[in-house]
Amino acid sequence: MTKKSHSVTIRQVAQKAGVSVATVSRFLNRSAAISKPVSQRLEKVMAELQYVPHAAARQLASRKTRVVGLLLNNLHNDFFVPLLNGIEGVVRKHEYNLVIATYHSGSRDMPPPIGPHNTDGMLVFSDGLSDEDLASLHARNFPMVLVHRTPPNSLPIPSVTVENKKITFELIEHLIKVHGRKRIVMMRGPIHQEDSYWRETGYKAALAANGIPFDERLVLNGNFERGIAYTALNEFLASNPEIPVDAVFAGDDDAAIGVLKALQEKGHRIPEGVSVVGFDDLGFSAFLTPPLTTVSAPTETVGRIATEQLFSLFDQQIPGGVTLLPTKLITRRSCGCNA
């Protein structure tokens, strides 16, 4: 029979995990590096025993921390500005504090810097945590809402994201049917991000629907970052002069900045020779040269709704599963439209 959290001691956790009490203490306090295998074993044991540290238990029961966490894998581009605006507005309304941390779940020596030990609940962006970590925290009844990803293994963790596949299909078909483009480069986002996966799926579906064979050579890794996109496209253009390109789907607006720079340095005229399109409709997109055709995504609304759902979890009002927000095509000069 599983022991209740109030009857489980740190010594019992240490004994079951096969480590010292000091190791468990270091893990809980994040005071020193703990190896990944040991961290995972401790997480598993604490979930099995339903163990919550005494200080954290008192804080969670009384809401004395009044802190919401946001876990990201990076803060490298302008995409996060509207997202943070949406989150911060709700946090401030509830008179809580917001703690933001970056964390790379794939290669770690320490557990996440924010979680049950220092927050009342957490927003997890994209692949900020592994499926295993999410399952472990959920087993401990830690309030979480996922942002721009769906929960793993049908776990009932609320999720807020945007529609990617259909709108990317519409975007690519616009290039094909309205502007006659057939050799369309796609700048792929981070490999493990759902946004990237669904945008690539929409891209491939649009090509197939219009009788254009998919060419793997035209899919480059832009990583949703302007510098990486610039380097990838610049190297592709230099190494493959025999491959004609008449359009580039940058993956997102930040990467589109690098795409425009690479094309312009190679002497390509935009949009007369090559159309360029992005995704997100960030604040600078209409002010690029030429103004960028893109997809309007309600990024600030994503942040606001996700945070509202997290506070609903605090009040034991369990929100629905996946909230999928609509997106919209915005045509400007960079694709060849006159708008």
* pLDDT digits 0-9 by tens, 35-71: 878 888 888 898 888 887 765 554 444 446 899 999 9
Among positive and negative, which fits the CA dihedral 129, 192, 70, 60? Answer: negative
Q: Which residue's entry shows tokens 């994201």?
A: 161
Does residue 201 surpass a pLDDT of 70? yes
Q: Name 321's Cβ contacts closer than 8 Å, sequence gap at least 6.
A: 151, 156, 158, 159
pLDDT, residue 54, reads 61
**Phi–psi pair at 306, nearest 5 degrees:** -60, -40
Q: Which two tokens stand for residue 280?
A: 């997100």
| Angle at alpha carbon of residue 142, lines to 189 and 53, rounded to 5° | 125
Give tens-digit pLDDT for 272-282: 999 999 999 99
Does residue 108 surpass a pLDDT of 70? no
Residue type, 128: G
**Phi–psi pair at 185, nearest 5 degrees:** -75, 140
In this chain, the answer to whether the domains covering 15-20+34-41+63-161+301-324 and 165-297+329-335 adopt an identical fold is: yes
Nearest alpha carbon to residue 56 among 131, 139, 140, 124: 140
For the segment(s) 165-297+329-335, the CATH number from 3.10.20.30, 1.20.1070.10, 1.10.3720.10, 3.40.50.2300 is 3.40.50.2300
- Candidate ranges 44-58, 134-148, 284-298; pick with highest mean pLDDT: 284-298
The pTM assigned to this predicted structure is 0.81
Does residue 109 surpass a pLDDT of 90? no
Q: In terms of pLDDT, which residue wins out, 298 or 7?
A: 298
pLDDT band at 3 (very low <50, low <70, confident <90, very high): very low
Comparing 55-64, 187-196, 241-250, 306-315, the range with the smallest average pLDDT is 55-64
pLDDT, residue 247, reads 98
DSSP β-bridge partners for residue 185: 248
- Buried residues in 13-42 as b, exposed as e (16+ CB within 10 A): bbebbebeeebbebbbebeeebeeebbbbb
Q: What is the mean pLDDT of the chain?
A: 90
Considering just the CA atoms, what is the radius of gyration of the chain in Å?
Answer: 23
pLDDT, residue 266, reads 95
CA dist 293 → 186, 278, 333 (Å)? 15, 6, 7
Nearest alpha carbon to residue 159 among 40, 310, 1: 310
Q: Which two tokens stand for residue 195?
A: 């946004």
Residue 197 CA from chain centroid, whole number? 12
pLDDT, residue 183, reads 98
- The residue ranges of every structural domain in the chain are 15-20+34-41+63-161+301-324, 165-297+329-335
- Candidate ranges 71-80, 129-138, 243-252; pick with highest mean pLDDT: 243-252
Q: What's the rounded Cα separation, in Å, for the pair 184 and 173?
A: 11
pLDDT band at 5 (very low <50, low <70, confident <90, very high): very low
pLDDT, residue 268, reads 96
Q: What's the rounded Cα separation, in Å, for the pair 115 and 121?
A: 7
CATH 3.40.50.2300 is right for the domain spanning 15-20+34-41+63-161+301-324: yes
